[in-house]
Amino acid sequence: MTPASDNSSDPGQVFAPAPTPAPNPVPNPVPAPVPSQRRVCVVSGSSSGIGAATVLRYAREGWDVVVNCAHRIEPAQAVADACRALGVSALVVRADVASDADCRRLAAEVEAAFGRVDVLVNSAGTTKFVAAKDLDGLQAEDFQRIYAVNVIGPWQMTRALLPLLQRQPGSGVVNISSIAATMGVGSSIAYMASKGALNAMTVGLARALGPQVRVNAIAPGMVDSPWLKQGLGAERYAATAVGYRARATLDALILPEDVADAAWWLGAGAAKTTGEVILLDAGLRLSRG
């Protein structure tokens, strides 16, 4: 009798010498991931703000979701836990959308976990708060960093997830843009320019990826969010909010949940809408006064 090995979980088990393996054994193939029975939405930059509201919106509709962050994992985990509490699966992936390698790794992790992607929402974004008249306040490096996240990031995420999107009928990409692109106002000229580029890319990708994949964008007005309050400072934020509401026909700011509702419609519905930039500004363009 051969004694049981030290790490045996069953002390009564008897082990016999292992048989000699056949020469050149054929390795077991890695099984392909079984596609999720639920539809899957990937939202970049979804640990807070518009991204978090969007991923929660899809979870409430019964979709499995992917929560993405570039830095601190704890807020993303909290959003994922809130999604799981709704009865869906949530995968958290830390990846910088400005890194092509990170985007491709994210796509591989999503395929391994779910085997499918039905909607991609490109919500990750960054800026530098600089007054438009302060031309010396922006350097080439600022433009490059902002474009890397706001323009190249959505491009790389779309490219990395495209094979999965193309497998699903009616799939869609939703880019989160801004009225800054068309109004000439915003946190900085670099930010305005990046969102203008994102709008152009949205139309170009819609042409390139149809009819399999729809591509649209949302251009929100002033969003009531901690990110904007922190960037502007409390006093300037309050004054800007008063001025915005005074000009907006609906006398309101935009909430992250408002953008999430639009992202839900464009991603899960809007079957015959592509190449559009949807203005979501509470009627600011009508300018009451």
For 253-284, the pLDDT digits (tens) are: 999 999 999 999 999 999 999 999 999 999 99
Please say whether the beta carbons of 276 and 237 come within 8 A.
no
Q: What are phi and psi of 228, to 5 degrees?
A: -70, -40
Query: Residues of 141-168 as b/e, b for ≥16 C-beta within 10 angstroms?
Result: ebbebbbbbbbbbbbbbbebbbebbeeb
Both tokens of 94, joined, read 């830390």
For 147-206, the pLDDT digits (tens) are: 999 999 999 999 999 999 999 999 999 999 999 999 999 999 999 999 999 999 999 999
Average pLDDT, integer, range 112-134: 97
Rg (CA), the chain: 23
pLDDT of 8 > 90? The answer is no
pLDDT of 22 > 50? The answer is no
Q: Name the H helices within the chain.
A: 49-60, 73-84, 100-114, 140-147, 153-166, 180-183, 189-209, 226-232, 234-247, 256-268
What mean pLDDT, rounded, does the chain reach?
90
Instruction: List, in order, residues 6 or more apart from 168 with CB less than 8 Å away.
Output: 39, 116, 117, 118
Q: Pick the catalytic residue: 147, 191, 237, 244?
A: 191
pLDDT of 37 > 50? The answer is yes
Residue type, 231: G
Place of tokens 């946190």: 187
Query: In whole angstroms, what is the distance from residue 246 CA to residue 285 CA?
Result: 12
Per-residue model confidence (pLDDT) at position 289:
55
Residues of the chain by 3-state class (helix, strand, coil), percent to 5: 45, 15, 40
Active-site annotation holds for 191: yes
Q: How far is CA 88 from its chain centroid?
A: 18
Give the lowest-confidence range in 11-15, 108-112, 222-226. 11-15
Residue type, 41: C
For 205-237, the pLDDT digits (tens) are: 999 999 999 999 999 999 999 888 888 999 999
Query: In whole angstroms, what is the distance from residue 179 CA to residue 94 CA?
Result: 28
Please say whether the beta carbons of 117 and 170 come within 8 A.
no
Nearest to 153 by CA among 116, 198, 191: 198
